[in-house]
Protein backbone atom coordinates (compact mmCIF):
# COMPACT_ATOMS: atom_id res chain seq x y z
CA UNK A 1 0.00 0.00 0.00
CA UNK A 2 1.34 3.39 -0.88
CA UNK A 3 1.84 5.95 1.82
CA UNK A 4 0.99 9.68 1.63
CA UNK A 5 4.71 10.30 1.25
CA UNK A 6 5.06 7.96 -1.73
CA UNK A 7 1.93 9.43 -3.35
CA UNK A 8 3.27 12.95 -2.90
CA UNK A 9 6.63 11.85 -4.26
CA UNK A 10 4.98 10.31 -7.28
CA UNK A 11 3.05 13.51 -7.86
CA UNK A 12 6.23 15.58 -7.65
CA UNK A 13 8.04 13.15 -9.96
CA UNK A 14 5.28 13.31 -12.55
CA UNK A 15 5.16 17.09 -12.33
CA UNK A 16 8.86 17.34 -13.09
CA UNK A 17 8.32 17.09 -16.85
CA UNK A 18 5.73 18.33 -19.36
CA UNK A 19 4.42 14.88 -20.18
CA UNK A 20 4.22 14.01 -16.52
CA UNK A 21 2.23 17.17 -15.78
CA UNK A 22 -0.18 16.35 -18.59
CA UNK A 23 -0.62 12.78 -17.30
CA UNK A 24 -1.13 14.03 -13.76
CA UNK A 25 -3.75 16.53 -14.93
CA UNK A 26 -5.55 13.79 -16.84
CA UNK A 27 -5.60 11.46 -13.85
CA UNK A 28 -6.94 14.25 -11.68
CA UNK A 29 -9.60 15.04 -14.27
CA UNK A 30 -10.70 11.40 -14.38
CA UNK A 31 -10.70 11.22 -10.60
CA UNK A 32 -12.95 14.27 -10.39
CA UNK A 33 -15.19 12.85 -13.14
CA UNK A 34 -15.66 9.63 -11.15
CA UNK A 35 -16.14 11.53 -7.92
CA UNK A 36 -19.06 13.38 -9.50
CA UNK A 37 -20.56 10.17 -10.92
CA UNK A 38 -22.68 7.55 -9.19
CA UNK A 39 -20.90 5.25 -6.78
CA UNK A 40 -19.29 2.30 -8.53
CA UNK A 41 -19.10 4.03 -11.91
CA UNK A 42 -16.06 2.97 -13.95
CA UNK A 43 -14.32 5.26 -16.35
CA UNK A 44 -15.29 4.51 -19.96
CA UNK A 45 -13.26 6.35 -22.65
CA UNK A 46 -16.06 5.71 -25.15
CA UNK A 47 -18.43 7.91 -23.15
CA UNK A 48 -15.89 10.42 -21.85
CA UNK A 49 -16.56 13.68 -23.78
CA UNK A 50 -13.02 14.94 -23.22
CA UNK A 51 -11.46 11.74 -24.58
CA UNK A 52 -13.81 11.74 -27.57
CA UNK A 53 -12.98 15.37 -28.32
CA UNK A 54 -9.27 14.55 -28.25
CA UNK A 55 -9.76 11.55 -30.53
CA UNK A 56 -11.81 13.66 -32.95
CA UNK A 57 -9.14 16.37 -32.95
CA UNK A 58 -6.41 13.80 -33.62
CA UNK A 59 -8.44 12.30 -36.47
CA UNK A 60 -9.02 15.74 -37.98
CA UNK A 61 -5.32 16.58 -37.72
CA UNK A 62 -4.39 13.28 -39.38
CA UNK A 63 -6.88 13.92 -42.18
CA UNK A 64 -5.45 17.42 -42.68
CA UNK A 65 -1.90 16.04 -42.86
CA UNK A 66 -3.02 13.44 -45.40
CA UNK A 67 -4.74 16.13 -47.48
CA UNK A 68 -1.62 18.32 -47.35
CA UNK A 69 0.51 15.36 -48.47
CA UNK A 70 -1.79 14.59 -51.40
CA UNK A 71 -1.77 18.26 -52.44
CA UNK A 72 2.03 18.40 -52.25
CA UNK A 73 2.25 15.29 -54.40
CA UNK A 74 -0.18 16.78 -56.92
CA UNK A 75 1.81 20.01 -57.11
CA UNK A 76 5.08 18.11 -57.58
CA UNK A 77 3.61 15.94 -60.34
CA UNK A 78 2.16 18.95 -62.15
CA UNK A 79 5.49 20.79 -61.83
CA UNK A 80 7.23 17.80 -63.42
CA UNK A 81 4.69 17.90 -66.24
CA UNK A 82 5.18 21.60 -66.91
CA UNK A 83 8.95 21.20 -66.84
CA UNK A 84 8.66 18.45 -69.45
CA UNK A 85 6.46 20.67 -71.63
CA UNK A 86 9.06 23.42 -71.37
CA UNK A 87 11.78 21.07 -72.52
CA UNK A 88 9.68 20.06 -75.53
CA UNK A 89 8.85 23.69 -76.27
CA UNK A 90 5.10 23.11 -75.97
CA UNK A 91 4.33 24.92 -72.73
CA UNK A 92 2.41 27.68 -74.50
CA UNK A 93 -0.01 25.10 -75.89
CA UNK A 94 -0.88 23.72 -72.45
CA UNK A 95 -4.16 24.65 -70.79
CA UNK A 96 -3.77 26.02 -67.26
CA UNK A 97 -5.47 24.06 -64.50
CA UNK A 98 -6.79 24.87 -61.08
CA UNK A 99 -3.88 25.10 -58.65
CA UNK A 100 -1.24 26.03 -61.25
CA UNK A 101 -0.47 29.16 -59.23
CA UNK A 102 0.93 26.91 -56.49
CA UNK A 103 2.78 24.91 -59.15
CA UNK A 104 4.41 28.16 -60.31
CA UNK A 105 5.64 28.70 -56.75
CA UNK A 106 7.02 25.15 -56.68
CA UNK A 107 8.90 25.68 -59.96
CA UNK A 108 10.33 28.92 -58.60
CA UNK A 109 11.40 27.12 -55.42
CA UNK A 110 13.10 24.42 -57.47
CA UNK A 111 14.98 27.09 -59.38
CA UNK A 112 16.31 28.62 -56.19
CA UNK A 113 13.81 31.49 -56.17
CA UNK A 114 14.76 32.43 -59.74
CA UNK A 115 11.66 33.86 -61.44
CA UNK A 116 10.43 31.49 -64.15
CA UNK A 117 9.80 34.07 -66.89
CA UNK A 118 8.42 31.56 -69.40
CA UNK A 119 5.98 30.12 -66.86
CA UNK A 120 4.94 33.63 -65.80
CA UNK A 121 4.37 34.60 -69.43
CA UNK A 122 2.35 31.43 -70.02
CA UNK A 123 0.11 32.18 -67.03
CA UNK A 124 -0.28 35.83 -68.06
CA UNK A 125 -1.33 34.89 -71.59
CA UNK A 126 -3.77 32.28 -70.26
CA UNK A 127 -5.27 34.73 -67.76
CA UNK A 128 -5.63 37.45 -70.39
CA UNK A 129 -7.25 35.06 -72.90
CA UNK A 130 -9.43 33.32 -70.26
CA UNK A 131 -7.98 29.95 -71.19
CA UNK A 132 -8.27 26.74 -69.25
CA UNK A 133 -9.72 27.11 -65.80
CA UNK A 134 -9.39 30.90 -66.19
CA UNK A 135 -12.55 30.70 -68.29
CA UNK A 136 -14.29 30.72 -64.92
CA UNK A 137 -14.66 34.30 -63.57
CA UNK A 138 -14.18 32.98 -60.03
CA UNK A 139 -10.82 31.51 -61.01
CA UNK A 140 -9.74 34.80 -62.54
CA UNK A 141 -10.79 36.65 -59.41
CA UNK A 142 -8.91 34.17 -57.21
CA UNK A 143 -5.80 34.58 -59.36
CA UNK A 144 -5.54 38.18 -58.19
CA UNK A 145 -4.59 36.89 -54.76
CA UNK A 146 -2.46 33.95 -55.95
CA UNK A 147 -0.25 35.39 -58.68
CA UNK A 148 2.42 38.05 -58.15
CA UNK A 149 1.74 41.64 -59.31
CA UNK A 150 4.05 41.44 -62.38
CA UNK A 151 2.10 38.47 -63.78
CA UNK A 152 -1.21 40.24 -63.14
CA UNK A 153 0.07 43.44 -64.75
CA UNK A 154 1.32 41.50 -67.77
CA UNK A 155 -2.05 39.78 -68.13
CA UNK A 156 -3.96 43.06 -67.83
CA UNK A 157 -1.77 44.73 -70.46
CA UNK A 158 -2.07 41.76 -72.80
CA UNK A 159 -5.85 41.78 -72.48
CA UNK A 160 -6.08 45.45 -73.41
CA UNK A 161 -3.62 45.18 -76.29
CA UNK A 162 -5.41 42.13 -77.67
CA UNK A 163 -8.70 44.00 -77.51
CA UNK A 164 -7.26 47.06 -79.28
CA UNK A 165 -5.60 44.93 -81.97
CA UNK A 166 -7.62 41.70 -82.16
CA UNK A 167 -5.54 40.16 -84.92
CA UNK A 168 -2.24 40.71 -83.13
CA UNK A 169 -0.35 37.45 -82.73
CA UNK A 170 1.60 36.50 -79.59
CA UNK A 171 4.84 37.34 -81.35
CA UNK A 172 3.66 40.92 -81.81
CA UNK A 173 2.97 41.38 -78.13
CA UNK A 174 6.28 40.25 -76.69
CA UNK A 175 7.09 43.85 -75.87
CA UNK A 176 4.39 43.67 -73.19
CA UNK A 177 6.51 41.17 -71.30
CA UNK A 178 9.55 43.42 -71.58
CA UNK A 179 7.59 46.43 -70.34
CA UNK A 180 6.24 44.45 -67.40
CA UNK A 181 9.68 43.08 -66.52
CA UNK A 182 11.20 46.57 -66.64
CA UNK A 183 8.49 48.29 -64.58
CA UNK A 184 5.52 46.18 -63.40
CA UNK A 185 3.81 49.16 -61.78
CA UNK A 186 4.02 51.23 -64.95
CA UNK A 187 2.66 48.31 -66.98
CA UNK A 188 -0.25 47.95 -64.55
CA UNK A 189 -0.90 51.69 -64.72
CA UNK A 190 -0.89 51.57 -68.53
CA UNK A 191 -3.35 48.66 -68.54
CA UNK A 192 -5.60 50.50 -66.07
CA UNK A 193 -5.42 53.67 -68.17
CA UNK A 194 -6.41 51.79 -71.33
CA UNK A 195 -9.22 50.09 -69.43
CA UNK A 196 -10.59 53.40 -68.18
CA UNK A 197 -10.17 55.08 -71.56
CA UNK A 198 -12.08 52.39 -73.40
CA UNK A 199 -14.49 51.25 -70.69
CA UNK A 200 -13.49 47.59 -71.07
CA UNK A 201 -13.06 44.84 -68.50
CA UNK A 202 -9.86 43.64 -66.87
CA UNK A 203 -8.55 40.03 -67.12
CA UNK A 204 -10.60 39.08 -64.09
CA UNK A 205 -13.72 40.02 -66.01
CA UNK A 206 -14.53 43.12 -63.93
CA UNK A 207 -16.00 46.22 -65.50
CA UNK A 208 -13.82 49.26 -65.01
Q: Does a structural domain hold residue 23?
A: yes
Q: For 114, phi and psi rounded to 5 degrees?
A: -70, 130
Give 1's pLDDT tier (boundaries 50, 70, 90): very low
Residues 39 and 51 in one domain: no
Contact 177, 158 (CB under 8 A): no
Torsion, Cα 184 185 186 191, to 10 degrees, reads 90
* pLDDT tens column, 28-73: 777 766 666 666 666 667 767 777 777 788 888 999 999 999 999 9
Domain count, the chain: 2
pLDDT of residue 72: 95
Residues 8 and 89 in one domain: no
Residues 59 and 115 in one domain: yes
| Higher local confidence (pLDDT), 45 or 4 | 45
Residues 96 and 118 in one domain: yes
pLDDT of residue 166: 77
Q: At what angle do helices 184-198 and 149-164 cross, to 10 degrees?
A: 40
Q: Does a structural domain hold residue 167?
A: yes
Q: Which domain holds residue 162?
A: 44-198
Give the predicted TM-score (pTM) of the model: 0.66
Residues 78 and 39 in one domain: no
Residues 88 and 182 in one domain: yes
Q: What angle do CA 67, 68, 69 make, to 5 degrees?
A: 90
Q: Does a structural domain hold residue 205?
A: no
Residues 99 and 193 in one domain: yes
* pLDDT tens column, 157-206: 998 888 887 777 667 778 888 888 888 888 888 888 888 877 655 544 55
Amino acid sequence: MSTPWTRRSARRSLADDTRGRAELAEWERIAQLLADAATGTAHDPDTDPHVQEELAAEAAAAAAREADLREAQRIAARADELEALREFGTLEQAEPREGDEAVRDELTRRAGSYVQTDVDAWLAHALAAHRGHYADPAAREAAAGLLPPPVLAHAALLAELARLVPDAGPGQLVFAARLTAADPEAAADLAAFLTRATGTTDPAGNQA
